[in-house]
Amino acid sequence: MGNRLLAALPASDLDLLKPELEVIALDQDAVISRAGDAIEYVFFPYSGAISLMIEMADGHTVAIAAVGREGAVGILSVLGPSSADNTAVVRAAGTAARIPASRFHTAFNRSPAIRHAVQIHVRAMLKQLQLGSACNALHPVEARMARWLLQLRDRVDQDVLPLTQQALSQILGVRRTTVTLLMRKLRARRAIRSDRRGLIEIDPARLAAVACECHNVMHLEVEEMFTLHSARSRAAALSENRRIPGIESGDAM
């Protein structure tokens, strides 16, 4: 499956979710959940990229995390009926599977593997939040912009990002004039090229030279989490198969 959390589940645990999963389009700039609203669905992106946004009392916004096919949106609804703490905005169009939050909660209670997948997702999000907080406090805005472009690139797996200056202003929590200046600097470094259609073409290697270390740290630690998660899921599936008559090693000979 396109989503890594779902793909790592043993077949029997995935079967608890499949009847309720609905594949939908993630349209560019769509708001799939809004801060303060009740969480009705859990979304598992197959492609595209979503940013989780915080809006301050004065109207300023800033992105706190990015989510793609490695994660989910609304997954903390397993803790019980609740409202969203942030607003989820589609930054690059794609597709996702969604499931009613109540149905996901039922499957969560029945499946240790699904509970483990939720733990992996929460750990990955906490790592983003922790490093993002430190990055916002300690690193210059140019490095932070480069980091965000690379984070979104990781999720769409292509070098052309459908981002306007307004979107980058919202993500970084800075004025559009600041974004204009930053883009001019990145173009001078040949790290990006942009046009008037709201597309930014990046050079990953040159952009990485501008970005702070936070991007690599986030990427490597999340990959390590998923490697361990996948290994555990494969071991659980193998153990389950050995208990099913007819597919034990002796029966297969």
Task: For 48-60, write each residue's pLDDT tens digit.
Answer: 999 999 998 888 8
Question: Mean pLDDT score of the chain, rounded to an integer?
Answer: 88
pTM > 0.85: yes or no: yes
pLDDT at 246 over 70: no
pLDDT at 101 over 50: yes
Mean pLDDT (whole number) for 26-42:
95
pLDDT at 233 over 70: no
- Kindly indicate whether the domain formed by 4-232 is annotated with CATH number 2.60.120.10: yes
3-class DSSP string for the chain: CCCHHHHCCCHHHHCCCHHHCEEEEECCCCEEECCCCECCEEEEECCCEEEEEEECCCCCEEEEEEECCCCCECHHHHHCCCECCCEEEEEECEEEEEEEHHHHHHHHHHCHHHHHHHHHHHHHHHHHHHHHHHHHHHCCHHHHHHHHHHHHHHHHCCCEECCCHHHHHHHHCCCHHHHHHHHHHHHHCCCEEECCCCCEEECHHHHHHHCCCHHHHHHHHHHHHHHHHHHHHHHHHHHHHHCCCCCCHHHHC
